[in-house]
Amino acid sequence: METLIENIVIYGSVILLCLIVVVFYLLRQKKKSKIVEAKIKKAKEEGLYEPVSLHPYVDENRCIKSGACIAACPEKDILGIRNGKATTINASRCIGHGACFHACPTQAISLFIGTEKRGVDLPHVNQNFETNIHGVYIAGELGGMGLVKNSVEQGKQAVEHIVKSLDKEHHATYDLIIVGAGPAGIAAALMAKKHNIKALILEQDTLGGTVFTFPRAKVVMTSPMDLPLYGKVKLYETSKTELLGLWETVIKTNNIALKENSKVEAITVEQGFFTIATLSGETYTAKKVLLSIGRRGTPRKLNIPGEEHEKVAYRLLEPELIQDKNIMVVGGGDSAIESALLLADNNHVILSYRSEKFSRIKSSNKDKITEAIAKGSIDMRFNTSLISIEKDSITLTHVIDKQEVTLKNDLVYIFAGGELPTEFLQKIGIHVNKKFGEAILKHK
């Protein structure tokens, strides 16, 4: 009898302990879910919840809440666990590296482009990166895949397919012309060199593409990658300067042909090959063309009087060399805010934004700019638009009461986004489709 009672007590204690563990676990999960729900609410308020480009999509029927996707994401707070399933939080901050896709043990994550509400323009390409125009290929950010590693891989793979179909018996000057000297273009040129393909890179600005337009101190998140003719590159957190130094090294070491400040204006087919015309009036011919330009395209201008002045710029280079200037920064996105903050230490900076508050900016930038405004290190002008630029001054207008004010000024930096190259692509004849939530990368 005593043994029976003892067994009942033991079993009862074990059951009670299990119940306590289960209750504790459920309460903990509920607490975590509330934290994630709060983050989602904040993301919606700040306009960061709705994805703008490539982003993860979670199949809840496959998800087992392992948390591997969350741990793998270097951007943090893109994904979270809510009610026992992975879910997106700050989806618009996803940069499409695909780490979550590869980390998920149950293949519950796919990478989608666009949503039911917001479409994203993407050029049509096949599995070999070739567009509907035979001989014209697209790799990198323009094709929907961002991040340095992804762009490098696509540039390499595109050239591998080009090599297989290239007939060197042609009358063009080059076998391949690569438009854009970003990660995809550089990797493509190295792969072409490896296969003894005569290639030329045409870049509208300077080596590095989009990376070159980052503020000097900006950290670029990337992953290990394999560069042709160079080898393994392991970069996890690196400065813009270090990354550009790498590109310069591989270009010089391998004698890659590169023409900077050569914006391509038109691409036409003549006599079985392509003629590439630049804005400066130069023309080149090639049997194949690879477009590795970014989605940001050409910096958008305000089209206001005086915008042609030399003191106007659309990117910030070497901010540490700029001191004791009256500076106007236009824009309310991360680029504008980061540039204003970099300039604020040694200059008088005015930040003009046409809306009444910031939206769709990183939380860290929001905290920093709020503190800078409170301290007075940045003169914030919400609800204003820049309407004219003079040699020594600028004029702002209030978008609501239309009051104008003229301010002393030495430099103007405009961050109004970029004009997507859709018109350029369509001019070539490339089909551009709007994607409303379609899988770019998914498990079979």
Q: Which of 340, 309, 336 is nearest to 325 (CA)?
A: 340
Q: Answer whether 0.95 is exceeded by the pTM.
A: no
The identity of residue 128, as a single letter, is N
Average pLDDT over residues 365-377: 92
Judged on CB neighbours under 10 Å (0-12, 13-18, 19+), 442 is middle
Chain segment 111-153, per-residue pLDDT in tens: 887 777 777 777 878 888 899 999 999 988 776 655 667 788 8
Banded model confidence at residue 307, pLDDT cuts 50, 70, 90: very high
What span, in angstroms and rounded, lies between the C-alpha atoms of 101 and 349? 42
Asked if pLDDT for residue 259 goes beyond 80, the answer is: yes
Regarding predicted confidence, which is higher, 16 or 89? 89
How large a percentage of the chain has pLDDT more than 70? 85
pLDDT value for 285:
95
Q: What percent of the chain has pLDDT over 90?
A: 34
Q: What is the pLDDT of residues 275-293, one digit of tens each?
A: 999 988 999 999 999 998 8
For residue 391, report the phi and psi dihedrals to the nearest 5 degrees. -60, -45
Tokens for 395? Answer: 């004029």
Highest mean pLDDT among 68-77, 176-185, 238-247: 176-185
* Alpha-carbon torsion angle 351, 357, 361, 364, nearest 10: 80
pLDDT of 360 above 90:
no
Give the model's pLDDT for residue 56. 85
386-401: b (≥16 Cβ within 10 Å) or e: bebbeeeebbbbeeee
- pLDDT at position 126: 84
> Looking at the predicted structure, is the pLDDT value of residue 223 above 70?
no
Q: Grade residue 50 by pLDDT with cuts at 50, 70 and 90.
A: confident
Token pair recorded at residue 109: 């994550």
Read off the pLDDT of each residue in 91-118 and give the average, rounded to a whole number: 78
Q: Residue 340's pLDDT band (boundaries 50, 70, 90)?
A: very high
Parallel, antiparallel, or unpaired: how do β-strands 225-227 and 231-233 relate?
Answer: antiparallel
Comparing CA positions, the residue from 363, 411, 443 lying closest to residue 48 is 363
Cα separation values, 314 from 205, 301, 357, 418, Å: 12, 8, 22, 10
Averaged confidence pLDDT in the chain: 83
Q: Hey, which of 45-59, 255-269, 417-431 has the most confident mean pLDDT? A: 255-269
pLDDT in the model for residue 106: 87
pLDDT confidence of 222, banded at 50, 70, 90? low
- What pLDDT score does 221 carry? 52
Domains of the chain by start residue, with CATH? 2-113 (3.30.70.20), 121-297+421-436 (3.50.50.60), 312-418 (3.50.50.60)
Instruction: Please report the pLDDT score of residue 214 as a whole number.
Output: 61
Query: In the 8-state DSSP scheme, what is residue 131?
Result: B
**Looking at residue 144, what is its pLDDT?**
61
